């Protein structure tokens, strides 16, 4: 939490840096894990794994019942964990896990949905195992965020990736090179990170099972969570429907190429995701304290950092993808390039949605996501049969753009600011950039001056 007397924004910067450091470390491990998937599983198995992981993500969204947002919102407003609301959220999570598991059983074993073709019964059972584990992990990360203990949140995220990688590699010799191995590893990651969180927060979690004391908050926590969860579900399909459509129309190997392209393009979301995670609880507890100006400052920095990162990714992708993941995955390069405009735009939308949720205005994201879902369905069905995975990338990028425009318009309305103030660097921003650049130059010159003064051969004369 923000310390008394801390400079304006200092706590926010610390939170962003703490999460970003964890995301960079987690990203390195995730990149190594993705390289293992690409080289050890191959495109076809990687495609089937993508279907399974997306199924887990969707079912976890349904089962979580918006509990992550409720945890962040309530713990930020009440400055801690209280037995009056946490048991209510956990109860909805348990019930939601049962509902999500039943939906997956219905979709796979009873309806035999064509978009799940290629998934074996054993693999489907592992999807079922991963659903409650993913919900528990999401709740744990939300607890750290709401308490504004961002270093611990980063450690939890990193431990999940490390455990998933270790589980995958350890089981290769037993279960072989298949999606089964990766799903066992994913479950290991969720459970290891959740166990770490429970151990570290055990004293704060006393009484979390006392549902009777939380009876007054059963409906309020569910209402807040579901209000935003409708948008989360619609957003999920806006972002991920293409995976299931590709699996229906195209060979699994094509889905493997596309999945890698999506994963790499979403590298742009590391900094925006860190900023959004810290901004949510800050807005929830500082609404009315010049928070509009602060949010605009954050949005401008996110746009700058994301633009520079996007340009770098576009430059290195054609060379790095075949080098790291193998020549077979060169097909992923056009996917990355087609997705970049949309992922860049959505970087801003993620931060905007976080601020709106902190103001209790999470209904905006639900309405906009539903509108974008209709757009996505139409363009996926139109472009994927004609253009393949490139059509999926174009459709997703366009949907991201539309979603971002709607979110930014709502944010501008709520903050009552002009477009330049929301997005364009101000004179103060430019002055800060110049000062930072001069400081970096001064440090670099100070470090190189002794070497220049010494000159060649000086070492031998000493």
CB of 28 closer than 8 Å to CB of 242:
no
How many residues are recorded in the chain?
462
Number of domains in the chain: 1
Domain region containing 287: 12-435
Tell me: the pLDDT tens digits for 65-94? 887 877 877 776 665 555 567 777 888 888
What's the CA gap between 332 and 350, in Å, rounded?
25
What's the CA gap between 233 and 227, in Å, rounded?
11
Q: Residue 86 has what pLDDT? A: 77
Q: Which segments of 177-325 does DSSP mark as H helices, in order?
A: 179-200, 218-249, 252-265, 270-286, 291-325
Tell me: the pLDDT tens digits for 432-461? 767 766 666 676 666 666 545 555 554 444
Q: Residue 212 has what pLDDT? A: 66
Question: Of 96, 85, 91, which is closest to residue 216 (Cα–Cα)?
Answer: 85
Q: Residue 183 has what pLDDT? A: 96
Q: Residue 8 has what pLDDT? A: 40
Regions of the chain where pLDDT drops below 70: 1-11, 76-84, 206-218, 221, 224, 228, 287-289, 433, 436-441, 443-462
Q: Residue 45 has what pLDDT? A: 93
pTM for the model: 0.76
Report yes or no on 133 lying in a domain: yes
Q: Residue 436 has what pLDDT? A: 63
Q: To 5 degrees, how large is the angle CA 197–CA 201–CA 204? A: 150
DSSP string over 30-89: HHHHHHHIIIIIHHHHHHHHHHHHHHHHHHHHHHHTTHHHHHHHHHHHTTS--TTTHHHH
Q: Residue 59 has what pLDDT? A: 93
Residues 6+ apart with CB under 8 A from 228: 66, 69, 357, 362, 363, 365, 366
Report yes or no on 440 lying in a domain: no
**SS3 state of residue 196:** helix
Tokens of 14: 């610390």
């Amino acid at each position: 939490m923000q310390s008394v007397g801390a400079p304006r924004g200092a706590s926010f910067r610390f939170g962003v840096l703490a999460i970003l450091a964890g995301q960079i470390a987690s990203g390195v491990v995730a990149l190594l894990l993705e390289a293992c998937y690409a080289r050890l599983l191959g495109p076809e198995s990687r495609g089937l794994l993508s279907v399974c992981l997306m199924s887990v993500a969707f079912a976890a969204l349904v089962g979580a019942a918006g509990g992550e947002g409720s945890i962040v919102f309530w713990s930020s407003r009440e400055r801690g964990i209280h037995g009056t609301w946490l048991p209510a959220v956990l109860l909805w999570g348990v019930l939601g896990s049962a509902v999500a598991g039943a939906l997956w059983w219905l979709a796979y074993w009873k309806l035999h949905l064509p978009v799940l073709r290629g998934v074996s019964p054993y693999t489907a059972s592992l999807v079922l195992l991963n659903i409650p584990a993913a919900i528990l992990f999401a709740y744990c990360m939300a607890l750290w965020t709401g308490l504004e203990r961002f270093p611990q949140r980063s450690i939890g995220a990193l431990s999940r990736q490390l455990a998933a990688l270790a589980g995958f590699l350890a089981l290769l010799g037993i279960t072989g090179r298949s999606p089964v191995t990766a799903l066992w590893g994913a479950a290991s990651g969720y459970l290891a990170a959740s166990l770490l969180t429970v151990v570290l927060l055990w004293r704060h979690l006393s009484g979390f099972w006392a549902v009777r004391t939380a009876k007054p908050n059963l409906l309020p926590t569910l209402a807040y969570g579901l209000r935003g969860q409708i948008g989360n579900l619609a957003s999920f399909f806006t972002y991920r429907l293409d995976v299931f459509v590709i699996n229906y129309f195209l060979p699994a190997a094509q889905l493997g190429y596309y999945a890698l392209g999506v994963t790499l393009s979403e590298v742009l979301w590391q900094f925006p995701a860190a900023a959004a995670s810290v901004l949510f609880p800050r807005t929830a507890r500082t609404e009315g304290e010049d928070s509009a100006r602060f949010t605009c400052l954050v949005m401008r920095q996110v746009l700058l950092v994301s633009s520079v990162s996007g340009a770098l990714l576009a430059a290195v992708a054609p060379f790095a993808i075949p080098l790291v993941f193998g020549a077979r995955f060169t097909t992923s390069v056009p996917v990355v390039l087609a997705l970049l405009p949309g992922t860049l735009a959505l970087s801003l939308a993620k931060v905007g949605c976080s601020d709106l949720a902190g103001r209790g205005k999470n209904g905006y994201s639900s309405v906009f996501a539903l509108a974008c879902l209709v757009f996505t369905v139409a363009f996926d069905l139109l472009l994927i049969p004609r253009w393949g995975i490139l059509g999926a990338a174009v459709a997703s990028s366009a949907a991201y753009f539309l979603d971002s425009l709607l979110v930014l318009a709502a944010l501008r309305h709520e903050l009552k600011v002009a477009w330049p103030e929301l997005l364009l660097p101000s004179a103060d921003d430019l002055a800060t950039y110049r000062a930072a650049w001069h400081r970096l130059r001064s440090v670099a010159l100070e470090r190189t001056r002794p070497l220049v003064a010494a000159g060649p051969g000086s070492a031998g004369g000493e």
